Amino acid sequence: MPFLNEQSGKKGWKRWVRPFIKSVAPQFFLFLTILFIFALLIFFTASPFSLFWYGVQLSSFFFALSLIMQWAQYLNRVQAAVSIRFGSETQNKNRQLNALDALYQEMYQELYEEYQLFKKETVEKDREQMDYFTLWLHQIKTPISAMSLLLQKSPETKDGLRLEQELIRVNDYTHMALNYLKLEDSGKELQLEDIVVADVIKIILKKYAVIFIYKDISVEYNPSVQTVLSDKKWLEVLIEQLLSNSLKYTKAGKIRIYFEDEQTLVIEDTGSGIRQEDLPKIFEKGYTGFDGRLHSKSTGLGLFLSRKICRRLGHTLIIESEIGKGTKAVIDFGEKSWELFE
């Protein structure tokens, strides 16, 4: 019975033996009932007990023989079904199935082929959509860059700063969508290396300088030579997303960026904060919470994307917040638990 050995030892035996036992259980109870009735007849007719014992032995022998024959037929049918399931059926194995089994197997085969065809079409459709959106997102970056250059050449006015600020947001949303698509492609490899976090933060602060100035938000940050093991590109996206959230929900005040210890980066703001009942759901895709509903520009993807990136990088992201006092985003680089495929 090689097919039983292929089913991981005890688990394989449980998988195939239990159904057989359940199928013959009614026969077993019927056999015991007949023996009980036979015993009553012997008792009330005052017949010799040896007659009963002889009858039990004889009937048990034929019942056991019947079970062995049923077990052999059951094994043949199961082996044939397993062979068909894994595509190694032969004419001889097909003959081991009775007409009803063969009908079931034929129906199963048709459904399986339909499922495989549907799965193939769905994968191809998803790939086409992914290719289209990726191409569109890359193409939309060109006019965004052109508008940014035009704004830099124009005189600095209040409206110009506002336009530049909104253009940064459009660029952020475009990159967010593109990064989401890239994260869905789990075949992409990470380039892990020791990264000076200060170099990454410097690039991000320069990008958002216009928003800091326009919203009159100060930043408290003392650059250090602290290094962490991560992927530079995705780490930049992660910190950028968290800082963007702080800027979005902070009307005025201060944003602090500092290392709590050697492997823990903190981004803390004095913004509107998050309600306690919203905190357990902030990492859900599309969830904006009460504050997000008041903020028309909220997408509900930022923290979802941030946690997804952290899982890919093996980092831990914790959000602490109190309504009216601000939010604290903590990235722990110390614990490594990569989830390359989700």
Q: Of 97, 124, 144, which closes a domain? A: 97
Among the residue ranges 97-106, 156-165, 317-326, the one predicted with the least confidence is 97-106
CA gap 104, 114 in Å, rounded: 15
Dihedral sign for Cα 64, 69, 74, 75, please.
positive
Residues whose CB is less than 8 angstroms from the CB of residue 141 and which lie 6 or more positions away in sequence, other chains included: 171, 174
211 — pLDDT class (breaks 50, 70, 90): confident
Cα-to-chain-centroid distance, residue 325? 34
Which of the 8 DSSP states describes residue 260? E
341 and 197, same domain (yes or no): yes
Is 215 inside a domain boundary? yes
**CATH of residue 324:** 3.30.565.10
For residue 229, how many C-alpha atoms fall within 13 Å in the half-sphere facing its CB? 7
As for how many domains the chain has, the answer is 2
195 and 341, same domain (yes or no): yes
91 — pLDDT class (breaks 50, 70, 90): very low
Question: For the segment 273-285, what is each residue's pLDDT rounded down to a tens digit?
Answer: 888 888 888 888 8
Question: For the segment 20-46, what is each residue's pLDDT rounded down to a tens digit?
Answer: 888 888 888 998 898 888 888 888 888
- According to the model, what pLDDT value does residue 327 have? 93
- According to the model, what pLDDT value does residue 173 have? 79
Asked if 27 contacts 74 with a C-beta cutoff of 8 angstroms, the reply is no
Q: Which two tokens stand for residue 325?
A: 């006092």
336 and 203, same domain (yes or no): yes
Residues whose CB is less than 8 angstroms from the CB of residue 249 and which lie 6 or more positions away in sequence, other chains included: 269, 271, 272, 273, 291, 295, 327
341 — pLDDT class (breaks 50, 70, 90): very low
Question: For the segment 175-207, what is each residue's pLDDT rounded down to a tens digit?
Answer: 777 777 777 665 567 888 999 999 999 999 998
Is 73 inside a domain boundary? yes
Domain housing 22: 2-97
pLDDT greater at residue 228 or residue 214: 228
pLDDT greater at residue 105 or residue 308: 308
Q: How far is CA 279 from CA 247, 300, 312, in A?
A: 19, 13, 22
Is 163 inside a domain boundary? no
Among the residue ranges 208-217, 231-240, 292-301, the one predicted with the least confidence is 292-301
197 and 334, same domain (yes or no): yes
195 and 324, same domain (yes or no): yes
- According to the model, what pLDDT value does residue 307 have? 92
87 and 213, same domain (yes or no): no
Run of H or E residues at 109: helix 99-153
**Amino acid of residue 257:** I
Among the residue ranges 10-14, 23-27, 137-141, 291-295, the one predicted with the least confidence is 291-295
Q: Which two tokens stand for residue 203?
A: 């690039």
Indicate whether 324 pLDDT > 90: no
Is 220 inside a domain boundary? yes
81 — pLDDT class (breaks 50, 70, 90): low
Percent over 90 (pLDDT), the chain: 20
Q: Of 61, 81, 97, which closes a domain? A: 97
Is 142 inside a domain boundary? no
Is 301 inside a domain boundary? yes
Q: Of 66, 97, 128, which closes a domain? A: 97
What are the E-state strand segments in 90-209?
A: 192-196
340 and 199, same domain (yes or no): yes
Run of H or E residues at 179: helix 158-184
**For the sheet containing 264-269, what is the strand order?**
217-221, 253-261, 264-269, 326-332, 316-322
Is 171 inside a domain boundary? no
Q: How far is CA 261 from CA 121, 270, 311, 316, in A?
A: 50, 21, 21, 14
Is 202 inside a domain boundary? yes
77 and 197, same domain (yes or no): no
Run of H or E residues at 256: strand 253-261
Q: In the predicted model, what is the mean pLDDT of residues 68-82? A: 79
216 and 331, same domain (yes or no): yes
- According to the model, what pLDDT value does residue 272 have? 87
In this prediction the pTM is 0.58
